[in-house]
Amino acid sequence: MNNKRGSLILKVIIYVVCVFLAILSIAPFYIMIINATRSTVQIQQHAISLLPSTYMMKNIAILLGKSFNPANGFVNSLIISTGATLCAVYFSNMTAYGLVVYNWRFRRPFFSFIMAIMMIPAQITMIGFYQMVYRIHMTNNFLMLILPAIASPSMVFFMRQYMLPSLSMEIIQAARIDGAGEFYIFNRIAMPIMKPAIATQAIFCFVSSWNNLFTPLVLLTDQKKYTMPIMVSLLRGDIYKTEYGSVYMGLALTVLPLIVVYLILSRYIISGVALGGVKG
């Protein structure tokens, strides 16, 4: 009896904590969306309102009247993130395939090497990277943000772990007997088998490229080339200091697409995160 009561109390505590945390996750975004439709005066009087107001279009007009250009940032981020994701996914699979299928002399050392460089952060090498890019006059060139994705050690690691059990040597042998070339086998047989792994890794690569602030902030100086995070950072500037409503609007415009995509893909994303942990 006592035990039953204890677990009931525990259950209540669990739900209270979880609901509180859920509200904590949603509230900032809810306040943001509501305030995006309110005027600066309304926000100054009461910073929180449960109901939207009618100043949405006005806030958008003020927002776009200054240097904020979300459509442009959206397109730029889309180009960079898509390019980086395609490069990372294709070449990581290629490298993993080289490590799994062929028996070559430096196979083991090369894999150890990939594990060793997995943690090297791009930020630390930024001064040298910037100087290199500056010398070849490639700042403001999206390729410098896309091509480095070809060497994504952690994705190679993940793809190899997935490929080892799922790609059987018999299929490859059979294809070879049928006269298929090595690249044909990789593109037409190995890549389709890797689809589930590609899907989760592509989502994460895309999101981290989309959210990256540091590298684009260093390399891109041309306003027309700004990515979404740089565009967002403009909202912190003096020109929007007194325009609370339009700052919320600017933030909402950048967040909403992400939230919608997240809610659609949440199942894959959560299981992808879980997989990332198991590799450890």
The SS3 assignment for 136 reads: coil
Provide the token pair at 124. 């630390």
* CB atoms near residue 242 (< 10 Å): 10
Residue type, 246: S
| Residue placing its CB nearer to other proteins in the complex, 130 or 167 | 130
The SS3 assignment for 161 reads: helix
Q: Considering the rule CB under 8 A, would residue 31 count as an interface residue with other proteins?
A: yes
| Residue placing its CB nearer to other proteins in the complex, 76 or 254 | 254
- C-beta of 88: minimal distance to other proteins in Å? 10
HSE toward the beta carbon, residue 192, CA cutoff 13 A: 5
- C-beta of 134: minimal distance to other proteins in Å? 7
Q: Which of 56, 66, 193, 276 binds other proteins (CB under 8 A)?
A: 276
Q: Considering the rule CB under 8 A, would residue 266 count as an interface residue with other proteins?
A: yes
| Residue placing its CB nearer to other proteins in the complex, 61 or 127 | 127
Instruction: Give 50: exposed, middle or buried? Use CB within 10 Å, 0-12, 13-18, 19+.
Output: exposed
Q: Considering the rule CB under 8 A, would residue 18 count as an interface residue with other proteins?
A: yes
- C-beta of 54: minimal distance to other proteins in Å? 20
Q: Which of 9, 16, 26, 61 binds other proteins (CB under 8 A)?
A: 26
- C-beta of 229: minimal distance to other proteins in Å? 4
Residue type, 83: G
| Residue placing its CB nearer to other proteins in the complex, 64 or 217 | 217
Q: Considering the rule CB under 8 A, would residue 142 count as an interface residue with other proteins?
A: no
> Considering only CA atoms, which of 8, 52, 79, 22 is closest in space to residue 225?
79
Q: Considering the rule CB under 8 A, would residue 75 count as an interface residue with other proteins?
A: no
The Cα–Cα gap between 269 and 186 comes to 26
The Cα–Cα gap between 17 and 25 comes to 12
Q: What would the DSSP string read from start to end of 8-53?
A: HHHHHHHHHHHHHHHHHHHHHHHHHHHHTTS-HHHHHH-S--SS--
Q: Which of 41, 115, 164, 174 binds other proteins (CB under 8 A)?
A: 115
- C-beta of 124: minimal distance to other proteins in Å? 5
Binding positions for other proteins, 145-204, rule CB under 8 A: 147-148, 150-151, 153, 156, 182, 186
| Residue placing its CB nearer to other proteins in the complex, 105 or 195 | 105
Q: Which of 41, 52, 71, 123 binds other proteins (CB under 8 A)?
A: 123
Provide the token pair at 226. 């700004």
User: CA angle, 156 as apex, 113 and 205 as ends, to 5°?
Assistant: 125
The Cα–Cα gap between 232 and 250 comes to 7
* Under 8 Å between Cβ of 229 and 211: yes
- C-beta of 224: minimal distance to other proteins in Å? 19
Size of the site for other proteins (CB under 8 A): 99
Q: Considering the rule CB under 8 A, would residue 54 count as an interface residue with other proteins?
A: no
Q: Considering the rule CB under 8 A, would residue 1 count as an interface residue with other proteins?
A: no
Q: Considering the rule CB under 8 A, would residue 36 count as an interface residue with other proteins?
A: no
Provide the token pair at 268. 């894959």
